[in-house]
Every structure is written in C-alpha cells, then in structure tokens.
Structure 1
Amino acid sequence: MTGTVLTTRRVDAYHALTVVAPGIAERFRPGHFVSVSVGGPGTSMVTRRALAVHDVKPDYGGTVEFVVAVRGPGTAWLADRRARDTLDLVGPLGRPFPLPRDPVNCVLVGGEYGSATLFALADALQRRHCRVDFVLGAAAADRVFGALRARRVGETTTLTTEDGSLGLRGRVADVLPGVVTDVHADVIYACGPMAMLREVTAVGIDFDIPVQVAVEEAMACGIGVCMTCVLPVIGDDGVTRMVRACADGPVFRGERVRFEDVGTIPFDALGAPGGGGSARHVT
C-alpha cells in the first residue's frame, strides 16, 4: 500500500517515521515487520528495506511507526523523508512472537534499535497480565533505543553499554543471568544483532527457559522469494534446514537457530551439497 508520512523525529542515533497505513496497522502483531521501497520511482535501488515496527496506533485511521538506522543510501533516503511524503509499503510480514496463554514473567532483551520491536510485544504481554522486565544495551548511550519508555513500561529496566556511557558497562548477556534470577523469569524474548541473540540464547539454555528471538538478517524482498536471508534452523524432527528469516521467521526459538553456522550452509543441513543432509534428502 501507499502510506503517507505523518511525522518524523530523531531519536538519538536513529530516525523514527510514523506513517498512515491503516491496512498494516489493522493486521499487525508484535514481531511483524514492514518492507519499504526506497529511492523513489526512478531509483536504481531495487531492493526494499525491512524495518521492524515500533508502534501501532489507531490515530488517523491507523498509523505505524518504524525506526531507521542509517547504514547506506537506502536507509539514508528513508531518514530524509518528511511529513506528507509517501512511501510504498508491504506488510505486515513475517511470523510474530508467540504469546503465553497464562500470566508469566517475561524478560525482554533488546540490542541497539532491535529493541524497537519489543514495545508492542510488552503491551501485548501486559494485556495478558504478564510481568515484563527489560534489558537493553548497545555500544554507546546514543545507540540504546527506548530506554525511557522501557523504564515507564517495565517492572524493572537494566541498561548496558560497552563504553559505560549509560547504565552498566558491558553487554546485555553479562547482566541477563542476574535479571533472570531476580525476577524468576519464565521466558526470554530478544531482538538485536545476531551475536547478541546467540549469547542471550545461551543464557536461556543455562536456565532451562525458552528464548524467542527475532533475528536481524538482510532481507531484500521480505516475502521469501530472493533467498538472501536464509539461515540454518533445526526443525521439530531434529533436521537442520536452511529457512528464510522473512517468511519462516523472523521469530524463532533461540535454541533451534544454529548461530555459529549463520552465513554458511552446514554440511549436515538437508540438501547441503555433498553433505549428510543431501544424503538424507536422496533417501
């Protein structure tokens, strides 16, 4: 659909755009993302940009806010949009976060602007009477997104920065075990860089509690066609498959993602060239 930019604002190192997009707002669930065309109708930038949804509101028929980190010409173009500009949007896309049936204690872990996707999740969890605690981190203070909102929403909020400019010095995985213990966490939800998700998943495994991760993989089409966002994930049958983060995710059970093999095709993946997976596929 075509969405009209309602407002833009700078949030530390990031840009937040609120777009009137009632069709997307109506169907949105926490964990969904939006695929946005960049560069305008005459651009040479063919691929879209996948952006996590930060907030959805009923205003103006339905608005969607997403957060942009400038990393290249496409995201720079998005950051330059102003009110009344129009955007070509596809969404909501992907598989959202699963929500618990009963009230449980939830720790929400965000890295950099990955934390943007956690706030709609927090609202949904609290509507189910779940306890919500936040752990947010980044390299420096201006890269931590949503610290003030987390403090308003969560029972507790723990902040970390690698340079010590905000909160505790270190990474989220350094403080997460203490938070899990203190709040008697039943589940961890996380979104952020892949290295962070790997460390957070390891904490969940140590405590024998489930971890739901929204992975950050480069998604060119956002609908499962181009295969640029594949990663190795272990299925319910114990077999590793190369799955599409955009269509089969972006939310996965953390212990099922083979983080150490992301960016490769493991030899034992189903259909892997010359590997054990290929042999299983033939038989």
Structure 2
Amino acid sequence: MSDTPVQTSATVLTVRQVQDYHAITLVAPAIAERFRPGQFVALAVGGAHSGRLVRRCFGVYEVKSDYGGTVELVFADTEPGTAWLAGLRSRDQVDVVGPLGRPFRLPRDPVGCLLVGGGPGGAALFALADTLRRRGCPVHFLLGGPAARQVFGSRMANRIGDSATVVTGDGSMGERGAVPEVMPRVVAETGADVVYACGPTSLLRSVTRIATEHGLPSQVSVEEFLQRTGACGIGTCMTCVLPVHGEDGVTRMVRACADGPVLRGDRVRWGDLGTIPFDALGAPRVLSAMEGGSS
C-alpha cells in the first residue's frame, strides 16, 4: 500500500451534530485505504468559487470499508470555514487531501495504553484504540472538558475501553475537576505503560509533564496547534513550525503537519511554542550593541 497522500473529490455521506461538535462522513476510499491512526486530512472550504484558500486540517475519527470506504471527522464550528463544512448536505462534494502527517507509533508487544483526550481533537483517539486492541493492548481512556457537551466519545470509550474515566469542570459528566488532577490516579489504577494524547495544546503540555513524572513515554498529536497555525497541511508554507529537541540535545524547528502531528511529548518545548528559541538550530542571531553599534 502506498503511503503517498492523494487529492480527491469526496462525497458527503452525512453531517450530524454530536454535542457541541459536528461529525462529517466522507466517501473517500483512496484515503481510507491509506490511513493510519494519528494522520489527518486537509479539506478545501467554501466551494469551487470561494476566496477561502486555506485548507482546514482535522484528525480522523473513524475509517470504514462500508459504503465504498468512508472517513469520518469531528470538528467544532468556530469560524466561517468550519461553518461552511457544518452546512454541507448528503451528496455534496469536498476536495480533500490525505492522509497526511506522521501516525502514532505502535508498541511491538501488548502493553497497557492510556489514551487522554479533550475536545473534538480527542476523536482521533478512537481509530488508535481500535488498532491497539487488535494488537492485544489493554486500552484505558481519560476524557475531559469544561462540561458534558464538550466531552466527545464518552459512550464509545465506555464500550470499547478496558476502563474509561470522564472528568468535567462543572461536574455535569463523570467526576468534577480537570484531566491533570485525576491523571496520576488513573495512571496508578490502570498500570499504564504508555500515554497517547490528543486535544488542546494546554492539555498536551500537562499530560506530557505527568507522564514524564511517572517515567512513561508519551505521544501527542499537536492537531490543535496545526489548526491554529497551519495553512497548507503538506509542509511547504512553514507556518506551523514548533521547537523540538532531538536525541542529540539540539533544538530544531519542525513542521506540525509534515514532521507531526504526532510527536514525542517529552521532546516538545511547550514553553516556547510560537517562538524560535535563541538556541534552536538556524535561529536568527541577535547582534549585541557592541557588535552592531558604532565604536
């Protein structure tokens, strides 16, 4: 199977509202057959004659062979581009490029996996969960949000997970609180060996910290960062770069779309997102007053 992404005109099968989000199912067999959990797709919005040139990038919730090969995405209606997507109807056409980016790395042997999600980005955990379970891995979910309507997939998590913990800020679903508050307890109770996370950048930062404190490797999908900063989805525009330090200790600016969206959580310099750290490879050199001024 080729890993090369394809550009295709996908047919809308359904668009439905799920709590505060929308789920769109597209018939796109060429993308469905190439997809691996953690990858994303980039959708053109506004129609053929639109002036909206920037694609919208979304992780994939589910891929099915039914109906000729479908791809389902979950998104929040937050701006004109996503509003256009939410207004699509069955049989409408959408230009899609995918699957894009680097997928989650899967364990060689069955190990306990903790999947942590928040908001619509957490939808990408479910395709991963399906693959992990087929490999014999115990799968535990930890899902959170401000309120019940902002927690995606709690019923599915309870159905397919070996355990599922839900936490909301207002206590309207599951426990009252926030994911970072309960994660240490969930790690201990589940005996997790590895942590996977999708959701808001602030959540990924906290999840990475807690996983590291417990000596656990973490893989995070920086999809939200990509959505906020990215434009092309294929690594050419360089707007979604973020600082990551390598095994050699050198910080490099990597592209969330092409080098991610899945990254090792402990390698991301979370406090420096949106900047080019002075010690990053290739960072602009700032001249001191002595170097740049007159004698």
Give the TM interval when normalised to the shorter protein.
over 0.9
Total equivalences in the alignment:
276
Aligned counterpart, 2:127: 120
- Contact kept? 1:68, 1:78, Cα under 8 Å: no
Distance in 1 (CA, whole Å) between partners of 2:128 and 2:215 is 22
Give the CA deviation at 1:236. 2.1
> Unaligned regions of 5+ residues in structure 1, if any?
276-283
If the length of structure 1 is used for normalisation, what is the TM-score? 0.96
Distance in 2 (CA, whole Å) between partners of 1:206 and 1:228 is 31
If the length of structure 2 is used for normalisation, what is the TM-score? 0.92
Aligned pair 1:243/2:254, yes or no?
Answer: yes
Distance in 1 (CA, whole Å) between partners of 2:170 and 2:178 is 10
Per-residue CA deviation, residues 229-263 of structure 1 (Å, 9 max, x unaligned), is 11101112111111100000000000000011101
- Contact kept? 2:102, 2:262, Cα under 8 Å: yes
Q: Which has the larger radius of gyration?
A: 2
Which amino acid letter does the alignment assign opposite residue 277 of structure 2?
A: P
Aligned pair 1:233/2:240, yes or no?
Answer: no
Aligned counterpart, 1:281: none
Distance in 2 (CA, whole Å) between partners of 1:247 and 1:162 is 34
Aligned pair 1:47/2:54, yes or no?
Answer: yes
Aligned pair 1:178/2:189, yes or no?
Answer: no
1:254 aligns with one of 265, 270, 275: 265
**Considering only aligned residues, what root-mean-square deviation do their CA atoms show, in Å?**
1.1
2:165 aligns with one of 158, 169, 185: 158
Per-residue CA deviation, residues 7-27 of structure 1 (Å, 9 max, x unaligned), is 111100011011000000000
Aligned counterpart, 1:220: 231
Within 5 Å, give how 1:44-83 maps onto structure 2.
Answer: 44-83=51-90
Aligned structure 1 segments of 4 or more residues deviating by more than 4 angstroms = none
Aligned pair 1:197/2:204, yes or no?
Answer: yes
Task: Give the percent of matched residue pairs that are identical in Structure 1 and Structure 2.
Answer: 62
Distance in 2 (CA, whole Å) between partners of 1:24 and 1:229 is 23
Which amino acid letter does the alignment assign opposite residue 113 of structure 1?
A: P
Aligned counterpart, 2:42: 35
- Contact kept? 2:74, 2:121, Cα under 8 Å: no
- Contact kept? 1:177, 1:203, Cα under 8 Å: yes
Distance in 1 (CA, whole Å) between partners of 2:158 and 2:195 is 18
Which amino acid letter does the alignment assign opposite residue 269 of structure 1?
A: A
